[in-house]
């Protein structure tokens, strides 16, 4: 997956994906001849489960799709309470993607 596809799938910006890469949360599998990063779909799925869903406030050890959706919805709610619109938009996109994939 390209960085753009990862961002679209996760409902976040390309800059967020780049930050995840810098922080070691998501490692690219290499670069294309044009220098574009590419990622494995399974790595992206794991990142969404491990890092977007679970916060230090509410660790979830056993993850299923319903729990993941609830965690993302909770993070959306908390971001809105804090007035963190960037995170709220990202979580909203992630939740929308999860819900449309479940249909």
Tell me if 79 sits within 8 A of 91, measured CB to CB.
yes
The model's confidence at residue 56, banded by pLDDT at 50, 70 and 90, is very low
**Residue in this structure with the two tokens 């916060």, named with its chain if needed:** 55
- pLDDT over 70, % of the chain: 77
DSSP string computed for 30-47: EE-TT--EE--HHHHHHH
From its phi and psi, is residue 57 left (phi > 0), alpha (psi between -120 and 50) or beta? alpha
pLDDT at 30: 82
- Stretch 3-13: mean pLDDT, rounded? 80
Res 54: pLDDT: 53
Per-residue pLDDT, averaged over 30-35, amounts to 81
pTM above 0.75, yes or no: no
Tokens representing residue 28 in the block = 């690219």
What tokens does 1 get?
A: 């997956």
Between β-strands 30-31 and 37-38, what pairing exists: parallel, antiparallel or unpaired?
antiparallel
């Amino acid at each position: 997956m390209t960085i753009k596809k990862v961002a679209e799938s996760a409902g976040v910006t390309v800059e967020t994906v780049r930050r995840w890469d810098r922080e070691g949360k998501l490692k690219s599998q290499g670069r294309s001849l044009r220098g574009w990063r590419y990622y494995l779909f399974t790595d992206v799925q794991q990142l969404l489960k491990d890092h977007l869903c679970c916060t230090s406030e509410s660790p979830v050890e056993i993850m299923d799709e319903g729990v993941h959706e609830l965690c993302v919805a909770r993070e959306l709610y908390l971001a809105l309470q804090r007035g963190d619109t960037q995170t709220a938009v990202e979580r909203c996109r992630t939740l929308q993607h999860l819900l449309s994939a479940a249909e």
